[in-house]
Amino acid sequence: MVSDRAYLKGARVGAGLERLRAEVARLLDIFRSGGAVLVEPEALQPAEVLLDLYGEEIRARAFMASDDRGEMMLRPDFTVPIVRLHMDSGAEPARYAYCGPVWRKQEAGSKRAREYLQAGFEVFESGDPARSDAEVMALIARALDGAPVDFVTGDMGLVLAAIDALATNPARKAALRRHVWRPAKFHALLRRYGVEHAGLVERRAAMILARDEGRLPAMAAAAGPAIGLRTLEDIDWRAGRLAIEAATPALSAGEVDLLEAVLGVEAPSGAALDRYRDLSAGMPGLRAAVDRFAARLDALEAAGLDAAALPFQASFGRTALEYYDGFVFGAVAPGRPDLPAIANGGRYDALTRVLGRGRGIPAVGAIIRPEALVALTEGME
Amino acid sequence: MTALKLGVPSKGRLQDATIDWFAARGIRLSRSSQGREYAGRVEGIDGIELVLLSAGEIPRELAAGRLHLGVTGQDVVREQIPAWESQVEEIAEMGFGFADLVVAVPAFWIDVEDMADLDSVAAEFRARHGQRLRVATKYHALARAFFRRHGVADYRLVDSQGATEGTVKNGTAEAVVDITSTGSTLRDNHLRVLPDGLILRSQATLFAARNAPWDEEARGTRAELAARLARAPAPVAGGSA
């Protein structure tokens, strides 16, 4: 029906719409009571910004539009538009509240909504990140009070710290960090640096030897002329990196197992913390991140949540569109596979650095999907 | 009664080979005598209307259900029709129009042996050149899905509707996703196919549209056609339009 909207039948007219509007107003009031100012970013965002951030894959996820002024995308979420708004004009600290539609292309054949509302709250503040994380989650929990949802949390900071803690060369760590959001590729890299390392070294021996003996340009020229923007110098530079890679010992099975153990933790937060304390005994580089995890649990407890009991999944947040690099959380509706997560949020300090061209500011935020929330709670009262 | 609409490429080798293929199965396709009109005649079986279309348009017409059957390449069907298997069905692979869709890089990239290398090159290229590595192609959806499956990031697709193999030499791309039959055109343009860069093996195929108006008449004609196709083809000495 034309009057249907995401997860709600007939809610584009009359009583259905008013019910939804009232819910959105209630959410925005809660966010404003948390100190937020109302913002309304543009629906059309410069395609180049999103392409630079997410790569070509975003074309399969976001709707494109263009005119003589260039290629635009209908915002697939609010995080990037709000970071842009903040970087352009915002003073620190800042808290923002917003609600509006986002648009996502879905897989062919999928019945998932292409257009749906997000109501959100974002905090841009240096200072105590644990307190800001807890502030956002507590506010979302308040907004969802009474709704039958289960919270789940994760911590991309622990994942990234575990990568940094590996006793290996910086290039491997950079590649693993770059692909942390693509679990299949991430594991392919672990194999490449581990069990497949010896085979790769052998395959590359001739090229590395040629480089050592100054024959690399001749070797490349024999294969073909230099075409495209990638130059012979680029190849020589990479061959140098591959020589370092070849000379670096393979990741041991023990290191890979330890990393997998960090990535595999799934337990109530209190028990997860104990597990990470144990793991950091064999991985000292993990300690600072574990301390931050502990501080966040204290802050969540202080904000009125039962922190130790909060479900924790280390893998949570690794497949999202977002650029989360710290605390992540979501609220899902058990027994309602027809509904998406009712809320999602997390910390995205790195995103602000990328969009701010190096000038970053710690940021954490979350969204609620009001249509899904109404669909979930409808008929409950 | 509804005639079953059969879409066939309107020109070139693909049309000639299609005519020969049907002729070997006792069905004679010919263009209408009013040479400019893109319609034709079918003899040897009743109830089929011939529609001549560019091979590139046939997938769209099949997906829309405006054709019942159509002859085109598997590559264009998979590229143009999202979730193609829910829209069309493959009736018969026809044994011509063979083409591989492949990822090819400059032959002088002696440090790149597979898709994983291409990914690390893309990351380094972006860091060193301040822009994403350009990959020229006509097959955007297939290229993007394949790159995602191989975890390749930090590239940019550049649209190329023809002579894609020349784009690197001409300085508008660093790599290509292109169709090749023997690889010689790519080699002539100093490109090398990555061993794990085979995206798809394609050939001309007779497709049926799931969304076409399959009334009793059309279903009957299809069953008759299927019976003909099931018989061994007879050798034919070249057909003509």
pLDDT, one tens digit per residue, over B176-211 is: 999 998 889 999 999 999 999 999 999 999 999 999
pLDDT given at position A355:
87
Q: Which pLDDT value is given to residue A378?
A: 87
Characterize B137-157 residue by residue with b for buried, 16 or more Cβ atoms within 10 angstroms of its Cβ, and e for exposed.
bbbbbbbbbbbbebbbbbbbb
Where does the pLDDT of residue B241 fall: very low under 50, low under 70, confident under 90, or very high at 90 and above? very low
- Interface predicted TM-score of the whole assembly (ipTM), two decimals: 0.87
On average, the pLDDT of chain A sits at: 93
Q: Do domains A1-146+363-381 and A150-194+253-332 have the same CATH topology?
A: yes
- Measured distance CA(B206)–CA(B228) in Å, rounded: 14
Across the interface, do A237 and B128 touch by the CB < 8 Å criterion?
yes
For residue B33, what pLDDT is reported?
Answer: 61
| CA dist A216 → A238, A246, B85, B117, B210 (Å) | 11, 17, 48, 18, 56
pLDDT attached to residue A65 = 94
CATH architecture under which domain A150-194+253-332 falls = 2-Layer Sandwich (3.30)
What's the pLDDT band for A320 if we cut at 50, 70, 90?
A: low
**Strand, helix or coil for residue B154:** coil
Q: Classify domain B4-97+204-230 at the CATH class level.
A: alpha beta
Vertex B155, ends B82 and A187: CA angle to 5°?
85
- For residue A228, give the nearest of B110, B155, B174 by CB distance: B174
Q: Can you give the pLDDT at residue B237?
A: 56
Most confident of A178-187, A225-234, A372-381: A225-234
| % pLDDT > 90, chain A | 84
| pLDDT value for A162 | 95
- Tokens standing for residue A221: 């020229």
Which chain B residue has the Cα nearest residue A179?
B151
Binding positions of A for L-histidine are 77-79, 104, 118, 122, 318, 323-324
Locate tokens 């020349």: which residue? B166
Least reliable range by pLDDT among A63-67, A104-108, B83-87: A104-108
**A317 confidence band (pLDDT: 50, 70, 90):** confident
Which residues of A define the annotated binding site? 77-79, 104, 118, 122, 318, 323-324
Which chain A residue is nearest to residue B158, measuring alpha carbons? A56
Report chain A residues whose CB lies below 8 A from the CB of B147: 56
Q: And the tokens for A240?
A: 């140098």
Domain B99-201: state its class: alpha beta
Q: Are the C-beta atoms of residues B167 and B225 closer than 8 Å to each other? A: no
- Cβ–Cβ contact A184 with B under 8 A: yes
pLDDT digits (tens, 9 = 90+) for B26-43: 999 987 766 555 678 899
Helix count and strand count (H, E) for chain A: 15, 12
Other CB atoms closer than 10 Å to residue A219's CB: what's the count? Answer: 18
Decide if A31 contacts A23 (C-beta within 8 A): no
Tokens at B78, concatenated: 């998979």
| Residue A102 vs residues A74, A119, A320, A342, A375: alpha-carbon distances, Å | 7, 10, 15, 15, 18
- CA distance linking residue A296 with residue A128, whole number of Å: 10
Q: Are A271 and A182 in contact (CB under 8 A)?
A: no
pLDDT in tens, A265-280: 999 999 999 999 999 9
Contacts of A230 in chain B (CB under 8 A): 106, 109, 121, 125, 129, 133, 174
Q: Which position has the token pair 């999944």?
A: A313
**Assign residue A37 a region: left if phi > 0, alpha if psi is -120 to 50, beta otherwise?**
beta
| Residue range A311-323: mean pLDDT, rounded | 81
pLDDT at A197 over 50: yes
Average pLDDT of span B207-216: 95
For chain B, what percentages of helix, strand and coil (3-state, to nearest 5) are there?
30, 30, 35
User: Residue B164 region, left (φ>0) first, then alpha (ψ -120 to 50), else beta?
Assistant: alpha
Measured between alpha carbons, how far is A211 from A201 in angstroms, rounded to an integer?
Answer: 14
- 114-143 in chain B: CB under 8 A from chain A: 116, 119-121, 123-125, 128-129, 132-134, 140-141
Residues of A in contact with B190 (CB under 8 A): 224-225, 227
The yes-or-no verdict on residue A93 having pLDDT over 80 is: yes
Separation in Å, CA of B40 to nearest CA in chain A: 34
Amino acid identity of residue B140, one-letter, is: H
Looking at residue B181, the DSSP 8-state letter turns out to be S
**Encoding tokens for residue B215?**
């009334």
Contact criterion met (CB below 8 Å) for A328 and A347: yes
Q: Nearest CA to A161 among A309, A314, A297? A: A314
pLDDT tens digit sequence for A150-186: 999 999 999 999 999 998 999 999 999 999 988 899 9
Domain regions of chain A by residue span: 1-146+363-381, 150-194+253-332, 196-249
Partner residue opposite B108 with nearest CB, options A178, A179, A221: A221
What pLDDT, on the 0 to 100 scale, is given for residue B239? 44
Share of chain A above pLDDT 70, in %: 98
Q: Are B113 and B195 in contact (CB under 8 A)?
A: yes
State whether residue B159 sits within 8 Å of chain A by CB. Answer: no
Distance from the Cα of B45 to chain A's closest Cα (Å) equals: 36
Q: Strand pairing of B133-137 and B175-180?
A: parallel
pTM of the predicted model, to two decimals? 0.88
Pairing type for strands A115-124 and A363-368 reads antiparallel
Give how far Cα A16 sits from Cα of A4, A6, A120, A175, B115, Å.
10, 12, 21, 49, 51
Across the interface, of B111, B171, B192, the residue whose CB is closest to A235 is B111
CB contact under 8 Å between A235 and B155, yes or no, is no
> From B187, which residue of chain A is nearest by alpha-carbon distance?
A224
Q: Is B110 part of the contact surface with chain A (CB cutoff 8 Å)?
A: yes
pLDDT (0 to 100) of residue A369: 98
Q: Return the pLDDT at A181.
A: 86
Whether the CB-CB separation of A179 and A185 falls below 8 Å is answered with yes
- The SS3 call for residue A183 is helix
| Cβ distance of B155 and A220 shorter than 8 Å | no
Q: Does B174 touch chain A (CB under 8 A)?
A: yes
What's residue A322's pLDDT? 62
Of the candidate ranges A199-203, A339-343, A348-352, the one whose mean pLDDT is the lowest? A348-352
| SS3 category, B40 | strand
pLDDT at residue A379 tops 70:
no
Å from B94 to nearest chain A CA? 27
B8 contact partners, CB below 8 Å, separation of at least 6: B15, B18, B19, B29, B40, B50, B51, B52, B53, B70, B71
pLDDT above 90 as % of chain B: 82
pLDDT at residue number B240: 44
Task: Answer for the pair B176, B137: CB distance below 8 angstroms, yes or no.
Answer: yes
Residues A221-244: what's their mean pLDDT? Answer: 96
The answer to whether B96 and B204 have CB atoms below 8 angstroms apart is yes
Quick one: B36 exposed, middle or buried, by C-beta within 10 A (0-12, 13-18, 19+)? Answer: exposed
Cα separation of B169 and B192, whole Å?
Answer: 13
Helix and strand numbers (H, E) in chain B are 7, 12
Rounded CA-CA distance A257/A254 in Å is 5
Distances (CA, A) of A206 to A118, A201, B117, B124, B231: 55, 10, 16, 22, 55
Q: What CATH number matches the domain at A1-146+363-381, 3.40.630.30, 3.40.190.10, 3.10.20.600, 3.30.930.10?
A: 3.30.930.10
The closest CB to that of A227, out of B123, B141, B190, belongs to B190
Task: Say whether B108 and A220 touch across the interface (CB within 8 A).
Answer: yes
Neighbouring residues of A68: CB distance < 8 A, sequence distance ≥ 6 = none
Lowest-confidence region among A87-96, A316-325, B195-204: A316-325
C-alpha distance from B100 to closest chain A C-alpha (Å): 23
Query: What does DSSP assign to residue A8?
Result: B
Name the pLDDT band for B21 (thresholds 50, 70, 90). Answer: very high
Which of A341, A306, A361 lies closest to A122 in space, CA to CA?
A: A361
Domain(s) labelled CATH 3.40.190.10 in chain B stretch across 4-97+204-230, 99-201
- Span A219-243, average pLDDT: 96
Interface test mutation site (partner A, options B88, B114, B120, B196, max chain A beta carbons within 10 A): B120
User: How far apart are the CA of A49 and the nearest CA of chain B, in angstroms?
Assistant: 13
